[in-house]
Chains A and B, each alone.
Chain A
Amino acid sequence: MAYAYLFKYIIIGDTGVGKSCLLLQFTDKRFQPVHDLTIGVEFGARMITIDGKQIKLQIWDTAGQESFRSITRSYYRGAAGALLVYDITRRDTFNHLTTWLEDARQHSNSNMVIMLIANKSDLESRREVKKEEGEAFAREHGLIFMETSAKTASNVEEAFINTAKEIYEKIQEGVFDINNEANGIKIGPQNPMPGPTGPHNAGQAGGSCC
């Protein structure tokens, strides 16, 4: 149960793109073809290992509908990472990315790591959005990109873990203020103060400390 760090994630994106399925695949390693519509927000958790360290991921899966947008916004500030998901078989979900990104950037802390996820890669025959388009969007907005399938589990682990790696690197670089839990990062119990970020140079890029 002991962990070195705890990261909070949120999963956002249009309804039906597979957010809940991605979470279920990651936490329970299973796929549910018929999944209930998410009402508000649902919680999931899992432990991963990065750099030999145990990291607990707490993930909040949000509802995509407009009516829940204001609720979703309450989760941005406290999250260290966000998975922004679209469905490669539905172009409109790709088109809405800009809106999602604006919303996220407006309400989150500036260091939040955002991973762009092109889901349902198993449905190649019905593809409407090319991989290159997703890559281009990610490059343009400074996001990490990955194509996944919640059904086949392809790249699902990687998506969650790579996001955690990015956050972890930011901590090592001193970008994150790990003492402020509002950033969605918590140091595990009985863990000595790690990283170059001291309590007073909060938020600043620390560079090398010695």
Chain B
Amino acid sequence: MNFLRGVMGGQQSSGVQPSGAETIQKLCDRVASSTLLDDRRDAVRALKSLSKKYRLEVGTQAMDHLLNVLQTDRADSEIIGYALDTLYNILSNDAEEAVGHSRTWSLLPRDTAESEEENPQAQTDDLGVQFTEMFIKQQENVTILLSILEEFDFHVRWPGVKLLTCLLKQQGPQVQQIILVSPMGVSRLMDLLDDSREVIRNDGLLLLQQLTKSNAAIQKIVAFENAFERLLDIITEEGNSDGGIVVEDCLLLLQNLLKYNNSNQNFFKEGSYIQRMKPWFEVGDDNSGWSAQKVTNLHLMLQLVRVLVSPGNPPGATSSCQKFMYQCGLLQQLCIILMATGVPADILTETINTVSEVIRGSQVNQDYFASVNAPSNPPRPAIVVLLMSMVNERQPFVLRCAVLYCFQCFLYKNQKGQGEIVATLLPSTIDATSLSAGQLLCGGLFSTDSLSNWCAAVALAHALLENSTQKEQLLRVQLATSIGNPPVSLLQQCTNILAQGSKVQTRVGLLMLLCTWLTNCPIAVTHFLHNASNVPFLTAQISENLGEEEQLVQGLCALLLGICIYYNDNSLESNTKEKLKQLIEKRIGKEIFTEKLGFITKHEFYSKAAQKPQPSFSSPDHMMFDHEFTKLVKELEAVIIKAIYKSSEEDKKEEEVKKSLEQHDNIISHYKNVIREQDLQLEELKQTVSTLQAKNEQFQTTVSQQVAQIQQHKDQYNLLKVQLGKDNQHHNSHNSNAQINGFQSEEVSRLKEEIEELKKQHDLLQGELSEKNTLIENLSCNQAAGQTEQTTGVSEQVTELQKEMETLRSQLHVQSTEINRLQAERMELLQKVEASATVTASGDSASAASKNNDYEEKIAGLLRELSSLKDEVNLLSVEKSTLKRELDSAHSTTAILQDEKLKLGQEVSESKKEQDDLLILLADQDQKILSLKNKLKELGEQVDDEDDLESGDAGDEDDLDEEDSRDDDM
């Protein structure tokens, strides 16, 4: 209390103090002794109104009374509300601040610690802490507060929430412990998230933030109470990153729940909540809204992703989260932001960091990342675009660090990626047409900007980490320096720059690259030692007595020389292990060498870099160590010192031991190889078996398909057979294939009948004609001559017709033989098909494949035959139509003939009539002549009968003929 008095005395003017204190005392007495609720309520209200101005007095004098009210006056929500408000005013330091300050949205933790002396706020902070201690001394005060929070009344719940938040802020761990042991404590507070009044829900979020701070047990209970679901729902409802401060508060709470809490991370992942993060990053490319709040929200969202895939998490946990992030499209979404334009620099930087950790060590994600292209024209790989920023002096430092991190994460445990990067530098695979990662790295390595030198060197070192193949490959890289000079190797160029004595940062970067390169790669060591000036340079650097500035470089030179000894395969006569060791002893001294080597780990930046993989430096000058390199140093330091101190005899012994070990190793590796080979063979055989099995299955399906086809063909042939049989029954002369061209046998037979008929008619006509001919010939000569002419024309036509008939008949004969032949062929085919079908059905499946081939050939043969049959049938049908045409013409000819015949018939009958008339006339005249003769005889005259008769006859007959035709005309 002394402390409180001191504060009070210092702050309050002496004039105000007594009256305030007195009033407060009076009010306290009323609260304590009045039996009337109204009275007590008024007193508490009065205390509340004084509590801001007289915070100290109200706190010291009224605290106990107020706590009493909470216990005894629970029934009256009004008085409870006032009491809570008053307590809040006393305990809270924010209440005072809140008058003048609005909340700021800085990304820094809100409870940034500041030193007490410098901060006048510190004393009021202490006041809050002191009062809070008084409040929680009795644990049940907190328990009462928890039960008060169940009250629905806004005027109770809201100040209750604020008061508890304040208690947690001031005395977090103790209050957390009390809540943890009170039954249902945590889950009751979780219910605040379901409050329909936004103010309470939002302040409930702030309460839960405080509640979950650094307390894994509470974090897990909160998660168990469905916090993830509820918070994600709120974020969605509020519009994701476009939402307001509530979204920010939800995100902060989520971060509290997940950071460093593997159990909750696992729960988050298993609850399929990762996929619910994806829409957070669907920020349009419209650039319309990048409000400060949106930037803050997005930043927290990105950090939340990083929490789940942090390199510090258990490896299994991180990798399964990485997998989910790829599967649900979250990584892809992040890469879209990465390549978008108009994204604020700090969001872009954090997105790069996030992508880095989402792909780190995950082959699938790394492969995806390598395939991402920037939407530029022409499209460039994202990696190239990023590296361009890394070696660009004008880009912000943090962004360049982020890109380096991204590149490192891309190459982490990614031999394929390492190979691809190194390949862009190799003469055989170099692509001169477009800017490559390798070109950018070389450009950075030898640019005038030391930061670019360092970043490029580290980036290149990461392409070599734990990858001896690429270490050897990189030895092949040649650089064109200036025109006229021969190209120089990359290794040589690195040592050249080193010797030129550029900036410390540049030299540190190059030395780290060289150390990484030569480690575990004797060929690279040999290459390095082959340049006669390298060893003298190193020894000179190490032995010189340079200022503090140069200590790190000296240490790294010692490390490099140590590596040259440790990984030396003695292939260079002048620079064997032994010779180099002697050199150290003579030129530097073992102790000094060890001391200089020790400069590395003792350097102030070393331990910071050793902490985590992400390169983060407070200023560009501090960019000295790479995380992976610190691991390398840790491994090498001890073995190098051991190697230096070993005597040559020990060395020799060791060499022998090594040799025998190597022999053993050789034997073992031989067997290993054998096993590996056998493994490979086994694998191959397995694959062969499985492909064979697959093939077998395929064949079997083909076989069954073909059996089905054959069956189909068989059916078709059967059908054809039946049809053929029918055709044969109708007439043996014609092949019919209804399926092919619709040939109609009935027609043929009809035609035949017609022809037969025509023939008959023709014969009849001929008979009649010849009859008439003889008859007419018997008549007069004139008549007979005209008639004969006509008949000759008809008979000529008839002969022609007869000839045609003859040809038709022979054609029909040819066709019928053809059909017979086809039928025979078809029968043969049918037999073949049947035979093959039976073979297939009875054949065993192993030989089925080969048989199948036979069948296929046979079928093909059959099909060929079938098509030739079709051709023949086509031919026949053509012939048929010709025949038909011929028949048609025959028909018309016949019709003409019939016409003529009719005319002839008429003429014949007319001639007959004339003959009859003539005969009658003749008979009359005979009669007359006879009677005249008789008269003449009676008269006694001699008469020549014959002559007169003859001459008279001819003229008369002509006249009669004319008269008759006239009659006909009429």
A-to-B contact residues, CB < 8 Å = 1, 8, 40-45, 58, 60, 70-71, 73-75, 77-78, 107, 181-182
Contact = CB atoms under 8 A, between A and B. Distances in A.
B270 A74 contact: no
A182 B270 CA distance: 19
B263 A43 contact: yes
Contacts of A70: 180-181
Contacts of A41: 217, 220-221, 224, 263
B221 A74 contact: yes
A41 B215 CA distance: 12
B313 interface: no
Contact of B270 (A42, A58, A73): A58
Interface in B137-188: 180-181, 183-187
A75 B224 CA distance: 7
Interface string B193-237: 000000000000000000000001100110011100000000000
Contacts of B180: 70-71, 74
B187 A78 contact: yes
A179 to B, nearest CB: 13
A73 B183 CA distance: 7
A78 B183 contact: no
A16 B185 CA distance: 28
B728 interface: no
A78 B263 contact: no
Nearest to A79: B224
Given A41-B217, A41-B263, A45-B270, A60 B224 contact: yes
Q: Size class of B's contact patch?
A: 20 to 34
A77 B184 contact: yes
B272 interface: yes
A40 B217 contact: yes
Contacts, number: 51
Given A42-B263, A43-B263, A78-B187, A71 B221 contact: yes
Nearest to A10: B224
Given A41-B217, A43-B220, A74-B180, 5 more contacts: A40-B216, A41-B221, A74-B185, A77-B187, A78-B187
A43 B224 CA distance: 9
Nearest to A42: B263
Contacts of A43: 220, 263-264, 266-267, 270
A78 B226 CA distance: 9
A1 B181 contact: no
26 contacts: A8-B224, A40-B216, A41-B217, A41-B220, A41-B221, A42-B263, A43-B263, A43-B267, A44-B266, A45-B266, A45-B270, A58-B267, A60-B224, A71-B180, A71-B217, A73-B183, A74-B180, A74-B221, A75-B221, A75-B224, A77-B184, A77-B187, A78-B187, A78-B226, A107-B183, A181-B226
B327 to A, nearest CB: 10
B9 interface: no
Q: Which of A70, A107, A181 is the most central at the interface, judged by chain B CB atoms within 10 Å of its CB?
A: A70
A182 to B, nearest CB: 8
A82 B838 CA distance: 67
A74 to B, nearest CB: 4
The SS class assigned to the B binding surface is helix
A78 B190 CA distance: 12
A70 B183 CA distance: 8
A75 B180 CA distance: 12
Nearest to B267: A43
A160 to B, nearest CB: 15
A58 B187 contact: no
A44 B947 CA distance: 153
The 10 A-B residue pairs with the shortest CB-CB distance, nearest first, are A45-B270, A70-B181, A74-B221, A43-B263, A43-B267, A40-B217, A71-B217, A1-B272, A41-B220, A42-B263
Contacts of B216: 40
A152 to B, nearest CB: 25
Nearest to A63: B217
Nearest to A56: B270
B228 to A, nearest CB: 11
Contacts of A73: 183
A204 B769 CA distance: 120
Interface of B: 180-181, 183-187, 216-217, 220-221, 224-226, 263-264, 266-267, 270-272
A58 B622 CA distance: 47
Contacts of A42: 263
B207 to A, nearest CB: 17
A107 B186 CA distance: 14
A41 B262 CA distance: 11
A58 B225 contact: no
Contact of A74 (B187, B226, B264, B272): B187
A74 B225 CA distance: 9
A70 B216 CA distance: 14
Contact of B225 (A1, A40, A45, A78): A78
Contact of B267 (A45, A71, A77): A45
A119 B826 CA distance: 80
Contacts of B181: 70
Contact of A40 (B220, B266, B270, B272): B220
Contacts of B267: 43, 45, 58
Contacts of A181: 226
A74 B224 contact: yes
Contacts of B184: 74, 77
Contacts of B187: 74, 77-78, 182
Nearest to A1: B272
Contacts of B225: 78
Q: Which of B180, B186, B224, B272 is the most central at the interface, judged by chain A CB atoms within 10 Å of its CB?
A: B224
Contacts of A107: 183
B263 A58 contact: no
Contacts of A75: 221, 224
Contacts of B183: 73, 107
B217 A58 contact: no
B799 to A, nearest CB: 93
B240 to A, nearest CB: 19
B129 to A, nearest CB: 26
A60 B217 CA distance: 12
A58 B216 CA distance: 18
A75 B190 CA distance: 13
A71 B222 CA distance: 11
B186 A74 contact: yes
A29 B410 CA distance: 33
Contacts of B185: 74
A1 B226 CA distance: 18
Contacts of B264: 43
A45 B185 CA distance: 26
Contacts of B224: 8, 41, 60, 74-75, 78
A182 B217 CA distance: 19
Nearest to A8: B224
A43 B269 CA distance: 11
Nearest to B226: A181
Contacts of B217: 40-41, 71
A18 to B, nearest CB: 19
B155 to A, nearest CB: 27
Nearest to B221: A74
A13 to B, nearest CB: 19
A1 to B, nearest CB: 5
Nearest to B268: A43
A58 B217 CA distance: 17
Contacts of A77: 184, 187
Contacts of A74: 180, 184-187, 221, 224
A77 B180 CA distance: 15
A83 to B, nearest CB: 16
Nearest to A57: B270
A111 to B, nearest CB: 17
A60 to B, nearest CB: 6
Nearest to B324: A1
A58 B271 CA distance: 9
A77 to B, nearest CB: 6
Nearest to B220: A41
A171 B871 CA distance: 76
